[in-house]
Amino acid sequence: METLSRYERSRARGFASRREAGRFLARELEDASALDSSVGRIVVVGLARGGVEVAAEVASALRAPLDALAVRKVGHPLQPEYGIGAVAAGGAEYIRAHDGLTEEELAQAVRVAAMKAATLDAALHAHRAPVDVDGATCILVDDGLATGGTMVAAIRWARARGARRVVVAVPVGADATVRSLEADDDVDSVVCLVAPFDFGAVGFWYDDFHQVSTEDVVELLSASQGSTTSAEEILVDDVRLAADLTVPTNAIGWVVFAHGSGSSRRSPRNIDVATALNRAQMATLLFDLLTRDEEADRQNVFDIELLTKRLVAATRWLSARPAAGDLPMGYFGASTGAAAALLAASELDDQVSAVVSRGGRPDLAWHGLAEVHAPTLLIVGSADRIVLDLNQAAAAQLTCPHELAIVPGATHLFEEPGALERVAELATAWFTEQFSARHRVPAPSREGSHHGR
């Protein structure tokens, strides 16, 4: 049994929202030995309702099935808000204390909670069967741990359903509760980002802690079923480049990602943006611009001509696939990848409908900026001063429709609370607008425009 966290237990760190917390949690899980190569099949189960918003981000990042578990608190008959245990759908239960209740009084309290759990479960799974966790690594996710009663009931549910391994994953939890779960023989690993001694309440650790409805959970579950992801290889000049292809149902367009220097298709920030685009019905291709051997040579990392060649080849590979159809295509480039995206767009011309740059280096594509005809959005953090200056200068060279969007307070990696969410919102809106325009008119306008934000 192990506990995994890169944060100090006493560190006071909050989250902008459950979704942001889910993204941080997903990165921790990806890095943690809790999910080594022996875990086999993974299923992510969020505790309904709030935990499912966190779990949706985890499942998306891990490319794992998502499900929701209805767990209801067992309230004391004389004080229903006072929890004495919890019951999961299907009957798995945990009773923390009898508090002087008779066996019948306790049984009645459990029956009330079980009925609530069954009613919620029926609503959540009215149009889809629960995901089978038998033989799988079951990651149980909630938005926080206070007393931990509902999580213990969920753990017992997972074991009763035959889960091979049980991993508890939460953004925040009371220190004593986390330690208690660490000692639980039914738990293989606990991943908790923040475990303060002075916990307070779960909601205290979120800027946005809105109430999640049953309808919200059903929508999250439906969205998770609406896409397929496949691992691919792109052959370019006898070099095989690993790629991840995600295609949602009724996709409205394709976005090809060009990662920055020293990164890969596994860039957590690009995965976060890709997930947001997938939810907006955009298919995504994330691929390695360089092999591992190539990226060991720093010259290759900044060889924009090579990166551009790879991006163009990947675009043509994708365009030849039946799944691409006649859907519009765009680029999302980060750092040096943004320079490659701009040059590839200038080379492929009207085959590219939109470009978005995140913290990009358009100065490395200076000679080709005037030839970019695809509407371009440059996103930069206000605290990333040097890159902001470079993007402002590049914007003056662009002749295509373009905008410069400045994210207040953000630095180069957009690690500040809410910053990456803003990037995802801006990118989603830009691609949606440009892909829609592509369907309305034969070709995008080539008249320049610039709007700072």
**pLDDT score for 324:** 84
Binned at pLDDT 50, 70 and 90, residue 127 comes out as confident
Tokens of 254: 């394709």
Q: For the residues 326-338, what does the mean pLDDT come to?
A: 96
Q: Which has the higher per-residue pLDDT, 436 or 83? A: 436
Q: For the residues 286-299, what does the mean pLDDT come to?
A: 92
Q: For the residues 76-83, what does the mean pLDDT come to?
A: 68
Q: What is the pLDDT of residues 312-327, one digit of tens each?
A: 999 999 999 877 878 9
**pLDDT score for 61:** 85
Q: For the residues 93-115, what does the mean pLDDT come to?
A: 81
Q: What is the pLDDT of residues 359-374, one digit of tens each?
A: 999 999 999 999 999 9
**pLDDT score for 11:** 41
DSSP assignment string, 244-294: EEEEETT--EEEEEE--TT--TT-HHHHHHHHHHHHTTEEEEEE-SS-HHH
**pLDDT score for 445:** 34
- Indicate the residue type of 234: I
Q: For the residues 239-248, what does the mean pLDDT come to?
A: 91
Question: pTM for the full model?
Answer: 0.57
**pLDDT score for 400:** 98
Q: How far apart are CA 258 and CA 330, in angstroms?
A: 11
Beta bridge partners of 189: 2, 167
Q: Tell me the range of 110-114, 132-136, 166-170, 231-235 where mean pLDDT is highest.
A: 166-170
Q: What is the pLDDT of residues 396-406, one digit of tens each?
A: 999 999 999 99
Tokens of 56: 């949706």
Q: For the residues 155-179, what does the mean pLDDT come to?
A: 96
CB atoms within 10 A of CB 190: 28
Domains of the chain: residue spans and CATH: 2-222 (3.40.50.2020), 227-440 (3.40.50.1820)
Of 105-109, 142-146, 328-332, the least confident: 105-109
Position 109 pLDDT exceeds 90: no
Select from 347, 337, 352 the least CA-distant residue to 431. 352
Of 120-134, 211-225, 386-400, 430-444, the least confident: 430-444
Q: For the residues 334-338, what does the mean pLDDT come to?
A: 97
What size, in residues, is the chain?
453
Residue found under tokens 């000692």:
183
**pLDDT score for 431:** 97
Q: Which has the higher per-residue pLDDT, 344 or 31? A: 344
Instruction: Characterise 430 by phi-psi region: left (phi > 0), alpha (psi -120 to 50), beta (else).
Output: alpha
**pLDDT score for 438:** 67
**pLDDT score for 262:** 82
Q: For the residues 281-307, what does the mean pLDDT come to?
A: 93
Binned at pLDDT 50, 70 and 90, residue 443 comes out as very low
Binned at pLDDT 50, 70 and 90, residue 442 comes out as very low
Q: For the residues 197-218, what does the mean pLDDT come to?
A: 93
Contact predicate 135/162, CB 8 Å: yes
Q: For the residues 49-72, what does the mean pLDDT come to?
A: 92
Q: For the residues 289-309, what does the mean pLDDT come to?
A: 93
Q: Which has the higher per-residue pLDDT, 59 or 323? A: 59
**pLDDT score for 32:** 67
Percent of the chain topping pLDDT 90: 65
Across all residues in the chain, what is the average pLDDT?
88
Q: Which has the higher per-residue pLDDT, 397 or 281? A: 397
Burial 321-347 (b: 16+ CB within 10 A, else e): eeebeebbbbbbbbbbbbbbbbbbbbb
> How wide is the angle at C-alpha 220 spanned by C-alphas 208 and 246, nearest 5°?
115
Position 39 pLDDT exceeds 90: no
Select from 354, 399, 353, 403 the least CA-distant residue to 378. 403
Q: How far apart are CA 105 and CA 90, in angstroms?
A: 21
Pairing relation of β-strands 227-236 and 239-248?
antiparallel
**pLDDT score for 440:** 44
Distances (CA, A) of 331 to 122, 301, 345, 408, 436: 42, 19, 8, 24, 16
